[in-house]
Amino acid sequence: MKEIQFDAIVAAVRQMCIRGCTLADPRLLELLAAARRGEDNELADTILGQIEENARIAAGGGDESQRRPLCQDTGLAVFFVETGSDVRIVGGELTDAINRGVAQGYRDGYLRKSVVGDPVRRANTGDNTPAIVHLRLVSGDGLRIRYAAKGGGSENMSRIAMLKPADGIEGVKDFVVNAVAEAGGNPCPPLVVGVGIGGDFEQCAILAKESLFRPLGDPSGDEFYAGVESELLGRINSLGIGPMGLGGSTTALAVHVLTAACHIASLPVAVNLNCHSSRHEEVRL
């Protein structure tokens, strides 16, 4: 049995929230720079330039006290956690530790508290908790915590459908492209498009969300789906939506597909959009 202290988890989560919301993913910046080189719409290029400049300002020029959130919507805190069966958390429960870390991170990092405790009565909880936590038990003695700050603008444009198996991969592709087309400028393109295929209703949505955690721009390990990703990226970027929906060829920077087994009668597909403020962090304890 390996013991992990409750407080160590709190500290790690606090740090992930602050880092994730203020430091742009270097891979995202690479993809942005590459997109700019291929963009011949002047306004689109200006906007992409502002996004790059924003990342520099948010990073505070290397001075930690000058760091600022990349986006004011620092999102719901979403976690994918894998805990080894040989791990014992000492001093409290895992979910409590994550929530405490979120509360501390969002307070100390001057991050916006964007959670209401009830979906209809809508009182803000004041500390950005509760977080959404997807927990998995795995073998071994590791604890892996992945965090995403998921803003409302892009999350609200997510779509799910239970297609017929006969719709096949072409039906899946059309659904994804339509979801992006309908979202237009609202989810703050350029996007990272997360696609879940298979599983059941809720697993499919989780796949779409989890796919966004893949290192940005890495293709699927399955050659067939890597091909689907690159075809989708091409189709999405020829929609003409462009950065912020104001026109151009840079609508998405990457498409990530994640799949799972499903029922013989089903072909679920889910699209979870991430804005260019793609904020993901990972720690292993």
Where do contacts with other proteins occur on this chain (CB under 8 A)?
A: 42-43, 45-47, 50-51, 53-54, 57-58, 68-74, 110-113, 124, 153, 156, 184-186, 188, 239-241, 243-247, 275-277
| Binding range to ligand SF4, per CB under 6 A, among 5-13, 33-41, 67-75, 255-263 | 67-75
Residue ranges in 98-117 that form contacts with ligand SF4 under rule CB under 6 A: none
CB of 205 to other proteins, least distance (A): 21
Q: Which residue has the tokens 């950065």?
A: 243
Q: Is 151 in the site for ligand SF4 (CB under 6 A)?
A: yes
194 is in the binding site of which of other proteins, ligand SF4, none (Cβ under 5 to 8 A by kind)?
none
Task: Report the SS3 class of residue 60.
Answer: helix
Q: Is 199 in the site for ligand SF4 (CB under 6 A)?
A: no
What is the amino acid identity at position 46? Answer: T
Q: Is 194 in the site for ligand SF4 (CB under 6 A)?
A: no
CB of 90 to ligand SF4, least distance (A): 35
Residue 240 dihedral angles phi and psi, to the nearest 5°: 85, 10
57 is in the binding site of which of ligand SF4, other proteins, none (Cβ under 5 to 8 A by kind)?
other proteins
First to last CA, the chain: 14
Residue 255: name the closest of 148, 182, 179 by CA: 179
Closer Cβ to other proteins, 121 or 136, answer by number: 121
Q: What is the bridge-based pairing of β-strands 76-84 and 132-138?
A: parallel
Closer Cβ to ligand SF4, 24 or 258, answer by number: 24
Residue 285: name the closest of 47, 81, 114, 37 by CA: 81
69: preceding bond cis by omega (within 30 degrees): no
Helices (H), the chain: 6-22, 26-38, 42-58, 94-108, 152-155, 168-183, 201-211, 223-237
Interface residue list for ligand SF4 (CB under 6 A): 71, 73, 75, 151-154, 187-188, 275, 277
